[in-house]
């Protein structure tokens, strides 16, 4: 897990409403006015490197608060209790966390575990009556992802996904410019997502846990980015795979994939996902009246970029802080982000990834219906 995270760091209820905590002075806003409103109280499931990153970022949230932890490692639970001031009664292991059903202090659980474990955890959290936040990809295929969506709807809880870029200011400015017609007719998108992965024994190179290789990790940024940058849903995909190290990247673990997406307005996306090349974190959007280029485009920040009108100067704010505050607004106030962060959004990405794998297997263009 640390390889991708380290790399990115360096280059850059629905029907049932769960009780919430009101705090008069959790944090000050930019104009120094204290926030007085609902606080989304979150337990993190999976206390690895990214779970720690989210926990650290939440210390700056105004509308979300870390209140619980779930882990299979007792020493991690003890450390988090001390570091983040989490009460022992809000700490669980993987066998006992169904008991959150009876814990009114927890509103939502953020699942940050290997991809293949997201579904089971989401089902259990939903059954316990708590909102579900899942890291991306939401599951290992679209079928499982849809079952997660259905289970959360049945339980009357929200299902949200850790699409932090959907809250990132420079990204939102490019989307605003596109919506305003400042690029003219969008014709082309390029997404380059990759890095050299390290430890060959890590779970990301274990198909049973990851569901795939680079595409299920870094490649999803270009899949999702093509959609929100162009502003349409693709209607077809073609793809090719290259594997130079079959010892490290075994059967079912993709090393490098190039893929192309076609959009109903005529735009084409050309993207690359790899575990074998560094310095790949770039988006380029081109229209007949202008362009936007971002590099780094999806790293932890600061994101950098420019358009035909000049440099993007929006301030850098920790992505996960913005994300968690935004998710609190969505759950309690119904405020939707410009680009969705719900389970249905994640199902679309996984339908595209499923089709990419099919295109590689068959060598044919695969039609998409999202």
Catalytic residues, which ones? 136, 221
Contact 272, 172 (CB under 8 A): no
Q: Cα–Cα distance between 183 and 225 in angstroms, integer?
A: 17
Q: Cα–Cα distance between 24 and 157 in angstroms, integer?
A: 26
**Residue closest to 302 by CA, chosen among 70, 5, 9, 2:** 9
Q: Cα–Cα distance between 322 and 57 in angstroms, integer?
A: 9
Distances (CA, A) of 75 to 72, 194, 233: 9, 33, 45
Q: Cα–Cα distance between 20 and 106 in angstroms, integer?
A: 8
């Amino acid at each position: 897990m640390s390889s991708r995270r380290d790399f990115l760091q360096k280059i850059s209820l629905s029907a049932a409403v769960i009780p919430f905590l009101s705090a008069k002075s959790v944090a000050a806003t930019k104009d120094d006015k204290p926030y007085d409103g609902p606080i989304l109280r979150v337990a993190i499931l999976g206390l690895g490197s990214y779970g720690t990153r989210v926990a650290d970022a939440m210390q700056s949230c105004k509308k979300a608060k870390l209140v619980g932890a779930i882990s299979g490692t007792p020493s991690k639970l003890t450390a988090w209790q001390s570091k983040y001031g989490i009460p022992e009664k809000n700490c669980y292991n993987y066998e006992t966390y169904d008991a959150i059903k009876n814990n009114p202090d927890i509103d939502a659980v953020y699942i940050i575990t290997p991809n293949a474990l997201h579904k089971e955890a989401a089902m259990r959290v939903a059954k316990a009556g708590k909102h579900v936040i899942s890291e991306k990809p939401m599951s290992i295929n679209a079928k499982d992802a849809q079952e997660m969506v259905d289970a959360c709807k049945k339980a009357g809880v929200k299902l949200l996904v850790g699409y932090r870029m959907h809250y990132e200011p420079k990204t939102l400015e490019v989307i605003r410019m596109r919506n305003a017609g400042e690029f003219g007719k969008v014709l082309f998108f390029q997404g380059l997502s990759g890095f050299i992965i390290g430890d060959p024994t890590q779970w990301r190179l274990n198909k049973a846990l990851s569901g795939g290789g680079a595409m299920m990790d870094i490649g999803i940024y270009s899949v999702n980015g093509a959609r929100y940058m162009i502003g349409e849903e693709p209607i077809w995909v073609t793809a090719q795979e290259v594997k130079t190290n079959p010892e490290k990247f075994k059967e079912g673990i993709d090393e490098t994939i190039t893929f192309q997406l076609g959009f109903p307005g005529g735009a084409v996306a050309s993207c690359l996902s790899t575990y074998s090349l560094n310095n790949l974190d770039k988006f380029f959007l081109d229209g007949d009246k202008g362009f936007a280029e971002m590099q780094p485009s999806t790293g932890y920040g600061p994101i950098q970029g420019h358009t035909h009108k000049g440099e993007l100067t929006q301030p850098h704010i920790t992505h996960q802080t913005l994300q968690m505050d935004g998710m609190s607004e969505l759950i309690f106030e119904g405020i939707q982000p410009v680009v969705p962060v719900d389970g249905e959004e994640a199902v679309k990405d996984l339908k595209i990834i499923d089709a990419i794998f099919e295109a590689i297997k068959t060598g044919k263009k695969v039609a998409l219906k999202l």
